[in-house]
């Protein structure tokens, strides 16, 4: 048994596994020495890292293809639109077939089931949204760039709105609440919150206005994405940024919201033969840049706990040092493409990366990590028994789908034909905090306290959308068919219609 086969012996599996490529030792490729990633260990998470142009995107494409083939759904961030080719069979050429031969792959062009999603309404995919209430104060603070004090203040503002049945569905709802609290009329309410100054509330309001001015409000609202639509067998959901490329932190933070939603929605699963979903967060460093301690703590907690729900998380970034150590330690699979070491900071990052790998007699890792070719990576994963596999210089297999974009028009056409388009395409703007507070300014305040059934059921509390009507006798059908009752039953934050609990990231959940 040669060195390559000794390394590959650590990757042998009895169950289903992803085929990543073949081992390279002393510039020689052994097609018999296969590198496999067991499906049963994918909920132990992973990292795909490397400098720009080293092949990270193609690695993500390769992983997504094989997961889809195994029936595992994938949610994959596609910030630059490079992964839409997953929907089309690949195109053969000499270079591709040469790589297939080197890796022992019987390459065949194959397309895969892809659902294109766009953050908000500006992209070609099916629009996905989140309500401000469910996004929660911690994640929203990260998007707005708030400090710890301002984040705490925002949390109190959310709590005040919850207590008064003021649904925060879109940004104009939150802006209306903050405007009220900073107005002469809201001074008493602001004082009652305790620990909230008008100056801090004003800073939050300006940050929110800046977000809206840059187009960042177009994904807050309804209908909100249901995570069940991401769990279809073998489906690859590509989430692209659309017109929000100037707000990359918003994009990555939205992915974290989805992960928190999955945590709340999915039941405990324990150890599975394959994950229920693999979740890939591209540009992961944006999550942690200038993040508050509360945010980092919640990311760490989510990554630790989500594996018990059968969800695997892969973070994709340029440097492993972009990821906080507490989170990096949770990533069982490491696929490290080439690193650059042109500056002292690069050298430091290289040294720190080498220390995160098991020792190996076959490679000098500091040299190997700067010598990898395009489509090659230093890999170690968890074996089926949970132990780290030997470090392997791996020549990765080529994807079987198209390595490139299919074009914006094609993405839009396919999205329009999707059944999800009917469900999510049209924006819904129902009665919420903005309408209620606007009505409160325009009309005399009701005598009942905010949140009481009388104040929510009266014509005055519903604003100017409906004119007051005389009481009319009628049966249960007439009551249930009335607009106020419908609004009451559907409201995301009505005091009687829904109790709010806040868990990971302060996201709001229905109390079941």
pLDDT > 50? residue 114: yes
Distance CA 237, CA 230 (A): 7
Q: Identify the pLDDT of residue 244.
A: 53
Query: Using CA atoms, how far apart are residues 297 and 45, in angstroms rounded to an integer?
Result: 17
pLDDT at 229: 96
Q: Which residue has the higher pLDDT, 391 or 493?
A: 391
Are residues 272 and 211 part of one domain? no
Residue 127 lies in a domain: no
Q: How confident is the model at residue 493 (pLDDT cuts 50, 70, 90)?
A: very low
- Domain-terminating residue out of 390, 417, 444: 417
Give the number of other CB atoms < 10 A from CB of residue 89: 14
Judge whether 286 and 245 are in contact, CB under 8 Å. Answer: no
Contact, 385 vs 332, CB < 8 A? no
d(CA 196, CA 224): 30
Is 406 inside any structural domain? yes
Using the predicted structure, report yes or no on whether residue 494 has a pLDDT greater than 70: no
End-of-domain residue from the set 417, 449, 472 = 417
Q: Please tell me which residue, 469 or 124, carries the higher pLDDT value.
A: 124
**CATH number, position 239:** 3.40.50.300
**Does 300 lie in the same domain as 162?**
no
Do 181 and 279 fall into the same domain? no
Predicted confidence at residue 510, as pLDDT, reads: 52
Q: What is the pLDDT of residue 7?
A: 97
As a whole number of angstroms, the distance between CA 175 and CA 157 comes to: 11
Q: Are 459 and 467 in contact (CB under 8 A)?
A: yes
pLDDT exceeds cutoff 90 at 446: no
Q: Are residues 447 and 383 in the same domain?
A: no
pLDDT in tens, 324-383: 999 999 999 999 999 998 999 999 999 999 999 999 999 999 999 999 999 999 999 999
Task: With cut-offs at 50, 70 and 90, classify the pLDDT of residue 502.
Answer: low
Report yes or no: 132 and 182 within 8 Å, Cβ to Cβ. Answer: no
pLDDT at 392 over 60: yes
Distance CA 330, CA 274 (A): 18
Nearest to 93 by CA among 337, 423, 398, 496: 398
Segment 220-232, tens digit of pLDDT: 999 999 999 999 9
* 199-208: average pLDDT: 94
Q: How many domains does the chain have?
A: 2
What percent of the chain clears pLDDT 90, i.e. is strictly above it?
Answer: 68
Whether residue 138 lies inside any domain: the answer is no
**53 inside domain:** yes
Q: In which element (H, E) is residue 280 found?
A: strand 277-281
159 located within any domain: yes
500-502 and 126-128 strand pairing: unpaired
58 plus 178 within the same structural domain: no
Of 363, 396, 417, which closes a domain?
417
Name the residue range of residue 380's domain: 3-88+96-113+234-417
Looking at mean pLDDT, say which of 205-209, 215-219, 505-509 comes out highest: 205-209
362 upstream amide cis, omega within 30 of 0: no
The number of helices, as runs of H, and strands, as runs of E, in the chain is: 20, 14
Summarize the confidence of residues 375-397 as an average pLDDT.
97
Residues 247 and 372 in one domain: yes
State how far the Cα of 325 lies from the Cα of 312, in Å rounded to an integer.
18
228 domain-assigned: no
Residue 192 pLDDT greater than 90, yes or no: no
Does residue 441 sit in the same domain as residue 413? no
> What SS3 state is found at 284?
coil
Give a yes or no: residue 123 inside a domain: no
Answer yes or no: is pLDDT of 203 > 80: yes
CA 508 to chain centre: 16
User: Could you tell me if 255 and 282 lie in one domain?
Assistant: yes
One domain for residues 288 and 187: no
d(CA 127, CA 421): 8
d(CA 360, CA 391): 6
Query: Is pLDDT at 59 greater than 60 in this prediction?
Result: yes
Lowest mean pLDDT among 87-91, 294-298, 463-467: 463-467
Read off the tokens for 303. Answer: 């990554």
**What number is the average pLDDT over the span 242-251?**
68
Same domain, 410 and 268: yes
Model confidence at 1, pLDDT cuts 50, 70, 90, reads confident
- Looking at residue 449, its pLDDT comes to 52
Confidence at 509, pLDDT banded by 50, 70, 90: low
165 in the same domain as 202: yes
197 shares a domain with 107: no
pTM exceeds cut of 0.75: yes
The overall average pLDDT reported for the chain is: 86
Q: Quote the Cα angle for 24-103-100, to 5°.
A: 140
**Confidence label for 73 from pLDDT (cuts 50, 70 and 90):** very high
* 321 within domain boundaries: yes
């Amino acid at each position: 048994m040669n060195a390559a086969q000794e390394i590959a012996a650590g990757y042998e599996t009895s169950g289903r596994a992803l085929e990543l490529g073949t081992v390279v030792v002393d510039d020689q490729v052994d097609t018999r020495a296969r590198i496999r990633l067991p499906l049963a260990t994918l909920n132990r998470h992973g990292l795909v890292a490397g400098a720009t142009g080293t092949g990270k995107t193609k690695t993500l494409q390769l992983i997504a293809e094989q997961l889809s083939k195994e029936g595992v759904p994938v949610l994959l961030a596609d910030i630059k639109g490079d992964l839409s080719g997953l929907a089309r069979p690949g195109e053969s050429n000499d270079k591709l077939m040469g790589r297939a031969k080197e890796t022992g792959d019987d390459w065949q062009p194959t397309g895969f089931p892809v659902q294109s999603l766009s953050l908000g309404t500006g992209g070609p995919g099916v629009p996905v949204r989140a309500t401000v209430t469910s996004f929660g104060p911690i994640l929203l603070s990260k998007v707005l760039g708030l400090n710890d004090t301002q984040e705490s203040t925002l949390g109190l503002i959310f709590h005040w709105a919850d207590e008064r049945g003021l649904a925060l569905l879109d940004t104009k709802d939150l802006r209306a609440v903050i405007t009220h609290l900073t107005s002469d009329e809201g001074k008493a309410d602001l004082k009652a919150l305790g620990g909230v100054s008008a100056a801090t509330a004003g800073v939050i309001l300006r940050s929110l206005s800046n977000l809206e001015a840059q187009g960042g409000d177009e994904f807050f609202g309804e209908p909100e994405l249901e995570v069940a639509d991401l769990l279809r067998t073998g489906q690859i959901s590509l989430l692209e940024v659309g017109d929000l490329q100037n707000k990359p932190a918003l994009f990555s933070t939205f992915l974290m919201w989805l992960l928190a939603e999955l945590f709340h929605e999915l039941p405990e699963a324990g150890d599975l033969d394959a994950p229920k979903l693999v979740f890939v967060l591209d540009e992961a460093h944006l999550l942690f840049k200038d993040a508050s301690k509360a945010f980092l703590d919640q990311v760490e907690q989510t990554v630790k706990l989500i594996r018990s729900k059968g969800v695997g998380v892969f973070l994709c970034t340029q440097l492993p040092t972009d990821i906080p150590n507490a989170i990096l330690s949770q990533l069982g699979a490491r696929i490290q493409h080439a690193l650059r070491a042109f500056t002292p900071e690069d050298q430091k990052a290289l040294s720190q990366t080498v220390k995160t790998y098991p020792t190996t007699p076959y490679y000098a890792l500091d040299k190997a990590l700067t010598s990898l070719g395009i489509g090659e990576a230093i890999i170690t994963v968890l074996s089926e028994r949970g132990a780290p596999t030997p470090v392997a210089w791996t020549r990765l297999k080529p994807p079987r789908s198209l390595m490139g974009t299919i074009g914006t028009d094609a993405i839009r056409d396919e999205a329009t034909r999707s059944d999800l388009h009917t469900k999510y395409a049209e924006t819904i703007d129902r009665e919420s905090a903005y309408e209620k507070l606007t009505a409160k300014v325009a009309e005399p305040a009701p005598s009942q306290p905010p949140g009481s059934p009388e104040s929510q059921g009266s014509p005055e509390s519903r604003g100017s959308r409906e004119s007051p009507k005389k009481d009319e006798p009628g049966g249960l059908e007439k009551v249930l068919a009335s607009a106020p009752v419908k609004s009451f039953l559907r409201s995301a934050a009505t005091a009687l219609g829904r109790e709010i609990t806040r868990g990971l990231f302060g996201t709001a959940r229905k109390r079941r």
